[in-house]
């Protein structure tokens, strides 16, 4: 009997094992832990293969069946640089919603589209830049100074608001599956990074321990502890004399050991080469030294080319293979957790259909987000909302009908963007005449482009046929016979009109337009193209060459042209990573834009002005030859002079004026605030700018956005840009009167606050603190209120901010209704960093819990508690 049992068990085991799937290598076995699988894959690699994985363009390892992978992707406010995608408000606008649920909704849409796009790319064996699942977003640097050009990418000036919004964004990106990551999010730029842009490759940020721990690190800490962010990007600058991407204190001691981060660190692009190259940090003598310094001190992935010198560093004894293995394993783990080596039916996010991209539901989410981001700054005499019975409306301003201004930077390309002008026209309907006049350029030396229309274009020198000769090739070299030959009335080409381009393969075609252009007047023209890749020639001379694979840009030159004279023109472009576009643009000289705007205002019952800034003026390391701007940063806080002059001229007509701002940073609009009845802040509002702004202006949506930054009156009110000390900066340390305070925003209704009440007057350290307040809608319109809780420190023994945001809730309150709003503060909300003990602690002292609609002390009501 015993022998029969043994025989039966043996046969059963044999049969059972024969049913198990066979794997060539253990790293492909989904039944094993990710750690076991990563160890196996790393053990199979040669040193050269390991080093090849440490670059953002990780090479294929064909013998192991490991495909190539490009780690660089972006999704700051929508999947970026990979063609069409739903585009939400720029990050600063998303922060202005002060709405955690909205943030989670936004990031879930983004990660859906990201997964769908990735699946589509892989199905066509596309594994290039902007086609993967590892996204270098969000930017959680503190917007400490309004001059910083990249501040628009952040969630504002406050560490708490930044951390709360980032946590929701990251959770929506990475998903909630217990096994797999939906995509990888990246908290950047770590750490103490916020300009100036022209100095970022050599700058040493010097800060006190108090500012480091109270201002610059809290959001990074929170994204690790509360959102389990799986990637962190180290910054360009130095911190305490060491490059951030080569700082063991930042990357190992603080990030990994203290915060508990268990993902991988990626360098900002080119940051490691800054260690040694001229004009950089000058901390390494060779490329090999730089590579070893970065990877030994905690960087795992190189965006750049320096990682290739790790082989030389190994041979010189600067780094060991075991140290290299640490980074390789971290990267392998990320790919495993994304399900890249598993059967796709086992990965819950792998089958999201491409139809979600730019879907109606996602566009509606963009509309909702844009409406929630809009901040009503001024509304004297109930100038807003506007009547829907207006007969003639003048829409004036360079930002009224400019798609680029809707999108900010690090953006995708929306399928159907709607400008403010389009929104006003659609809202006004047939009974209202809308008169449009741009009024002025954004700033001096910034062209106001129009599409070159067919009546100025001709196929040949006899000028008999309007348009340009268009030829499309099924390769990127313009070789062979064209697949499509035709006449285009203008160059306004979009790849997603796919039915017009049969026979072309995405990512592998080129196009050229040839013919003649005849200017209508003599003078100095700006002529250019908008594309990722383009070459423009006029009479055989190059006017513009654009080879920017990252995003669509306008490239142009100024040229003197004679009226009526034909000039030979050629424009070439080729596709790069999908959904390409190319447009031929010019700015015709001699137009009296101001006179046109004055005429429009005089003919109208109501004027709406769309002014502000543009991603052509503020942004990342830009060449901007405009007074008041430098390298992407701003040197002044007001509007460009040409815009301020136009606003005053239009206001002098006596017609009622509403000012709508589109911008990514705070503006010192002092004259406008004193002289105009209504001002609306709409940021860079994304694809749905038109309907969102129109709904607010005409009262179909009651605005409730709040400022995530302080609006100062003058650049003279704040410390020098290069000074990273927080004294005198942001609402937490600013001692003067702001133009508009942090957290500020009006509504079409009014709210009143009762005195807040704490659950008790004394708490033990570490015990949750509970406070509540009754808020009443005292107006006649339903509306949302952003109830804000600030903590101040009555008898603290250390240097603390004047007040700290430590809670907020965006709540709908109907007209006449009272709601009780409660907050519960955890020890992490009250603690500070004790330099003596080297740990975070709750100080035993008195605290005042202030509740109200903004950070303005006059708006707050407080209750005092004690912690002992």
Catalytic residues: 268, 618
Q: What are phi and psi of 758, to 5 degrees?
A: -90, 150
Residue 287 in contact with residue 309, Cβ under 8 Å?
yes
HSE of 800 in the Cβ direction (CA atoms, 13 Å)? 23
Return the closest-CA partner of residue 802 out of 858, 706, 708, 727: 727
* Phi, psi angle pair for 128, to nearest 5°: -95, -170
Cα→Cα distances 205→138, 198, 238, 255, 265, Å: 21, 14, 6, 18, 20
Q: Where are the alpha helices (H) located in 727-797, listed in sequence order?
A: 730-733
- Calculate the alpha carbon distances from 772 to 277, 753, 804, 813 in Å: 56, 11, 17, 16
Q: Beta strand 510-517 with 457-458: parallel, antiparallel or unpaired?
A: antiparallel
The pairing of strands 264-267 and 657-662 is unpaired
Q: What are the b/e assignments for 408-419, b being 16+ CB within 10 Å?
A: bbbbbbbbebbb
Q: Strands 762-763 and 678-681: what pairing?
A: unpaired
Distance CA 230, CA 232 (A): 7
Beta bridge pairs of residue 681: 375, 661
Alpha-carbon span 361 to 439, nearest angstrom? 36
SS3 per-residue string spanning 88-153: CCCHHHHHHCCCHHHHHHHHHHHHHHHHHHHHHHHHCCCCCCCCCCECCCCECCCCCCCCCHHHHH
Give CA separation, 169 vs 227, 261, 288, in Å.
Answer: 9, 18, 37
Structure tokens at 498: 């796919």
User: For 592, what's the count of Cα atoms within 13 Å in the CB-facing half-sphere?
Assistant: 5
Q: What is the 3-state secondary structure (H, E, C) of 274-334?
A: HHCCCCCCCCCCCHHHHHHHHHHCCCCEECCCHHHHHHHHHHCCCCCHHHHHHHHHHHHHH
Separation of alpha carbons 371 and 97, rounded Å: 9
Phi/psi at 404 (5° precision): -55, -35
Give the containing element (helix H, strand E) for 173.
Answer: helix 159-174
Cα–Cα nearest to 553, from 77, 110, 79, 81: 81
**How many C-beta atoms surround the C-beta of residue 724 within 10 A?**
27
Residue 740 CB-density burial (10 A; 0-12 exposed, 13-18 middle, 19+ buried): buried
Alpha carbon distances (Å) from 486 to 231, 511, 514: 48, 11, 11
Cα angle, residue 678 at apex, residues 675 and 680 outer, rounded to 5°: 125
Taking CA atoms, 576 is separated from 260, 533, 738, in Å, by 39, 8, 46
How is residue 638 annotated by DSSP? S
Please report, for residues 124, 325, 481, 547, 602, the alpha-carbon distance to residue 504 in angstroms, rounded to integers and kept in the order given: 14, 43, 13, 21, 51
């Amino acid at each position: 009997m015993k022998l029969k049992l043994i025989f039966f068990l043996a046969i059963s085991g044999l049969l059972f094992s024969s049913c198990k799937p066979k794997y060539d290598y253990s790293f492909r076995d989904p039944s094993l832990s990710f750690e076991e699988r990563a160890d196996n894959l790393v053990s199979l690699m040669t040193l050269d293969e390991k080093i090849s994985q440490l670059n953002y363009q990780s090479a294929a390892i064909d013998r192991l069946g490991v495909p190539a992978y490009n780690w660089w992707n972006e999704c700051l406010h929508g999947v970026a640089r990979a063609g069409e995608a739903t585009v939400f408000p720029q990050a600063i606008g998303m922060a202005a919603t002060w709405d955690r649920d909205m943030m989670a909704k936004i990031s879930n849409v983004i990660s859906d589209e990201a997964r769908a796009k990735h699946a589509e790319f892989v199905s066509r064996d596309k594994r290039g830049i902007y086609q993967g699942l590892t996204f270098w977003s969000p930017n959680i640097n503190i917007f400490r100074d309004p001059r910083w050009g990249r501040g628009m990418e952040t969630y504002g000036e406050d560490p708490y608001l930044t951390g709360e919004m980032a946590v929701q964004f990251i959770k929506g990106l990475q998903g909630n599956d217990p096994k797999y990551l939906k995509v990888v999010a990246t908290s950047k730029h770590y750490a103490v990074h916020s300009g100036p842009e022209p100095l970022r490759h050599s700058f040493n940020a010097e800060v006190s321990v108090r500012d480091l721990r109270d201002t610059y690190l809290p959001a990074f800490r929170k994204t690790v502890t509360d959102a389990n962010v799986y990637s962190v990007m180290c910054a360009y600058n130095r911190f305490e004399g060491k490059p951030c991407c080569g700082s063991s204190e930042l990357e190992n001691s603080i990030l990994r050991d203290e915060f508990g981060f268990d993902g991988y660190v990626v360098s900002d692009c080119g940051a490691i080469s800054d260690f040694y190259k001229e004009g950089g940090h000058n901390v390494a003598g060779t490329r090999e030294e730089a590579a070893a310094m970065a990877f030994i001190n905690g960087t795992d992935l190189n965006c750049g080319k320096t990682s290739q010198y790790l082989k030389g560093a190994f041979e010189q004894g600067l780094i060991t293979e075991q140290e290299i293995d640490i980074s390789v394993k971290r990267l392998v783990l990320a790919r495993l957790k994304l399900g890249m080596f598993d059967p796709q039916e086992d990965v819950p996010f792998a089958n999201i259909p491409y139809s979600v991209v730019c879907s109606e539901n996602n566009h509606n989410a963009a509309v909702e987000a844009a409406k929630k981001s809009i901040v009503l700054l001024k509304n004297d005499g109930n100038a807003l909302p506007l009547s829907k019975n207006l007969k003639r409306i003048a829409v004036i301003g360079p930002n009224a009908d400019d798609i680029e201004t809707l999108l900010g930077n690090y953006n995708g390309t929306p399928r159907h963007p709607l400008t403010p002008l389009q929104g006003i026209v659609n809202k006004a309907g047939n009974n209202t005449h809308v008169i449009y006049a741009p009024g002025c350029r954004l700033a001096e030396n910034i062209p106001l482009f129009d599409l070159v229309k067919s009546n100025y274009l001709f196929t040949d020198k006899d000028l008999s046929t309007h348009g340009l000769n268009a030829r499309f090739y099924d390769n990127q070299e313009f070789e062979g016979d064209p697949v499509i030959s035709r006449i285009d009335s203008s160059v306004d080409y979009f790849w997603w009109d796919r039915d017009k381009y049969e026979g072309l393969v995405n990512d592998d075609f080129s196009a050229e337009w040839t013919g003649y252009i005849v200017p209508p007047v003599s003078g100095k023209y700006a002529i250019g193209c908008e594309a990722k890749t383009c070459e423009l020639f006029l009479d055989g001379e190059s006017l513009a060459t654009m080879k920017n694979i990252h995003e669509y840009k306008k490239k142009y030159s100024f040229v003197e042209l004679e009226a009526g004279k034909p000039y030979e023109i050629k424009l070439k472009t080729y596709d790069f990573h999908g959904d390409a576009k190319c447009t031929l643009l010019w700015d015709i000289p001699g137009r009296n834009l101001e006179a046109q705007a004055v005429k429009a205002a005089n003919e109208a019952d109501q004027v709406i002005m769309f002014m502000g800034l543009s991603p052509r003026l503020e942004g990342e390391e830009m060449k901007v030859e405009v007074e008041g701007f430098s390298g992407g940063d701003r040197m002044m806080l007001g509007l460009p002079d040409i815009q301020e002059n136009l606003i005053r001229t239009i206001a002098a007509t006596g017609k009622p004026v509403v000012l709508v701002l589109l911008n990514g940073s705070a503006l010192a609009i002092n004259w406008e605030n004193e002289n105009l009845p209504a001002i609306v802040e709409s940021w860079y509002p994304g694809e749905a700018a038109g309907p969102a702004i129109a709904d607010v202006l005409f009262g179909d949506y009651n605005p409730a956005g709040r400022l995530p930054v302080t609006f100062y009156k003058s650049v003279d009110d704040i410390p020098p840009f290069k000074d990273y000390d927080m004294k005198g900066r942001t609402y937490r340390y600013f001692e003067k009167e702001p133009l508009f305070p942090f957290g500020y925003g009006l509504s079409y209704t009014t709210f009143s606050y009762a005195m807040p009440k704490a659950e008790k007057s004394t708490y033990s350290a570490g015990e949750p603190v509970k406070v509540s307040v009754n808020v009443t809608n005292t107006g006649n319109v339903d509306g949302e209120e952003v109830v804000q809780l600030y903590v101040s420190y009555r008898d603290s023994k250390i240097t603390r901010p004047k007040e700290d945001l430590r809670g907020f809730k965006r709540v709908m309150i109907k007209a006449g209704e009272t709601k009780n709003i409660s907050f519960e503060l955890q020890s992490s909300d009250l603690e500070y960093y004790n330099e003596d003990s080297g740990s975070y602690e709750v100080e035993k002292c008195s605290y005042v819990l202030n509740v109200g609609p903004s950070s303005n002390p006059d708006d707050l009501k407080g209750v005092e508690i004690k912690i002992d």
